[in-house]
């Protein structure tokens, strides 16, 4: 089965005949992913532990989406999710591990039980889903694609993000190992690493509004990303266009991990040396 790729000013994808699981589908990037895969012809299993949000995603999506209320941080929740792909659509080709939680607090205030929950969802959930999905893909015998999620926060020293940022970095490392172990089965595993994406609740809570109004002007592109800009990277990694890409981290962060808009260039005006000849003046 071919994923046809059309190019113009936009890339579009045709996932007709493919079945995708998307975790964290009740809002934000996950909801946009469900809609995009379904519009591109895929059958989709949309998973979240938030039943009401999931129902809203379903009502806003085209046909061909099945909803599963499930906690992917638990083995039975992950298994129920991939089983739903077989029960509803008979196969599984793509697994997008988008579900995450991101509570922020200072290192000195961090509580061990919150830390553990971050790792349970962000790391164990990604592991459990990858394992359950890969087992089904191997049994299906036609390979597959797994797209995991990190964050640009994993590369900066982001204050308040000890648990979240380190859990996202762990996913990048996990992805590299999974890519090696699953390669013989034709399963490609990659990570997408977003920067600030416009998924926050509206109207913004006052504290968040103040933080963002200070932060956004410092971003290299001086704006947050839109969910669709993350979706485009995921669809690419799930398509035949990325057939030689595995174990990679695709940054979708408008360069926020590599610098700030206001980084001053370092000007070397040391008058003691002639840099061309190497002579001391």
Ligand X SMILES: NC(=O)c1ccc[n+]([C@@H]2O[C@H](COP(=O)([O-])OP(=O)(O)OC[C@H]3O[C@@H](n4cnc5c(N)ncnc54)[C@H](O)[C@@H]3O)[C@@H](O)[C@H]2O)c1
- Residues near 277 by beta carbon (within 8 Å), at least 6 away in sequence: none
Q: Which tokens sit at 178?
A: 């999974």
The reply to whether 196 sits near ligand X by the rule CB under 6 A is yes
What is the C-alpha separation between 159 and 198, in angstroms, rounded?
A: 20
Q: Which tokens sit at 7?
A: 């190019």
Judged by beta carbon, residue 93 or residue 229, the one nearer ligand X is 229
Question: Given candidates 22, 34, 121, 187, which one binds ligand X under the rule CB under 6 A?
Answer: 121
Judged by beta carbon, residue 24 or residue 254, the one nearer ligand X is 24
Judged by beta carbon, residue 38 or residue 68, the one nearer ligand X is 68
Question: Given candidates 29, 67, 80, 147, which one binds ligand X under the rule CB under 6 A?
Answer: 29
Q: How far is the CB of 56 from ligand X (least distance, A)?
A: 10
Cβ neighbour number for residue 229 with a 10 Å cutoff: 18
Catalytic pick among 119, 164, 244, 273: 164
Q: How far is the CB of 225 from ligand X (least distance, A)?
A: 8
Does 164 qualify as catalytic in the annotation?
yes
Q: How far is the CB of 160 from ligand X (least distance, A)?
A: 14
- Residues near 34 by beta carbon (within 8 Å), at least 6 away in sequence: 22, 25, 44, 46, 57, 61, 65
Binding range to ligand X, per CB under 6 A, among 44-52, 60-68, 179-187, 257-265: 44-52
The reply to whether 228 sits near ligand X by the rule CB under 6 A is no
Measured in degrees and rounded to the nearest 5, phi and psi for residue 156 equal: -95, 165
Considering only residues 46 to 105 of the shown chain, the ones binding ligand X according to CB under 6 A are 48-50, 53, 71-73, 98-102
Q: Which tokens sit at 244?
A: 């030689």
Nearest residue to 198 via CA among 233, 226, 231: 226
The reply to whether 190 sits near ligand X by the rule CB under 6 A is no
Binding range to ligand X, per CB under 6 A, among 19-27, 202-210, 213-221, 259-267: 19-27
Nearest residue to 20 via CA among 101, 73, 77, 88: 88
What is the C-alpha separation between 189 and 176, in angstroms, rounded?
A: 8
Q: How far is the CB of 88 from ligand X (least distance, A)?
A: 18
Cβ pair 25, 100 in contact under 8 A: no
Judged by beta carbon, residue 191 or residue 242, the one nearer ligand X is 191
Measured in degrees and rounded to the nearest 5, phi and psi for residue 271 equal: -80, 0
The reply to whether 149 sits near ligand X by the rule CB under 6 A is yes
The reply to whether 24 sits near ligand X by the rule CB under 6 A is yes
What is the C-alpha separation between 274 and 4, in angstroms, rounded?
A: 57
The residues that touch ligand X, with contacts defined as CB under 6 A, are 23-24, 26-30, 48-50, 53, 71-73, 98-102, 121, 125, 149, 151, 194, 196-197, 199
- The catalytic site residues sit at 164
């Amino acid at each position: 089965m071919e994923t046809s790729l059309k190019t113009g000013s936009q890339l579009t994808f045709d996932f007709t005949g493919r079945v995708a699981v998307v975790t964290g589908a009740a809002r934000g990037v996950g909801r946009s992913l469900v809609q995009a895969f379904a519009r591109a012809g895929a059958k989709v299993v949309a998973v979240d532990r938030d039943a009401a949000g999931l129902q809203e995603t379903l009502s806003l999506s085209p046909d061909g989406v099945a909803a599963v209320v499930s906690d992917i941080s638990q083995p039975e929740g992950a298994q129920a999710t991939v089983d739903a792909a077989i029960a509803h659509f008979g196969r599984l080709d793509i697994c997008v591990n988008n579900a995450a939680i991101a509570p922020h607090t200072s290192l000195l205030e961090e509580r061990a039980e919150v830390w553990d929950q971050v790792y349970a969802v962000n790391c164990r959930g990604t592991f459990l889903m990858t394992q359950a999905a890969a087992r089904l893909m191997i049994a299906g015998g036609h390979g597959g694609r797994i797209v995991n999620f990190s964050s640009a926060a994993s590369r900066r020293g982001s204050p308040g993000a000890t648990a979240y940022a380190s859990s996202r970095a762990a996913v990048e490392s996990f992805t590299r190992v999974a890519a090696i172990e699953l390669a013989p089965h034709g399963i490609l595993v990659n990570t997408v690493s977003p920067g600030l994406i416009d998924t926050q609740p509206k109207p913004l809570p006052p504290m968040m509004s103040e933080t963002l109004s200070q932060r956004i002007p410092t971003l290299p592109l001086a704006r947050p990303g839109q969910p669709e800009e993350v979706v485009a990277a995921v669809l690419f990694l799930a398509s035949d266009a990325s057939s030689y890409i595995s174990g990679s981290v695709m940054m979708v962060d408008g360069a926020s991990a590599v610098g700030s808009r206001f980084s001053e260039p370092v000007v070397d005006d040391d008058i003691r040396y002639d840099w061309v000849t190497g002579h001391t003046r």
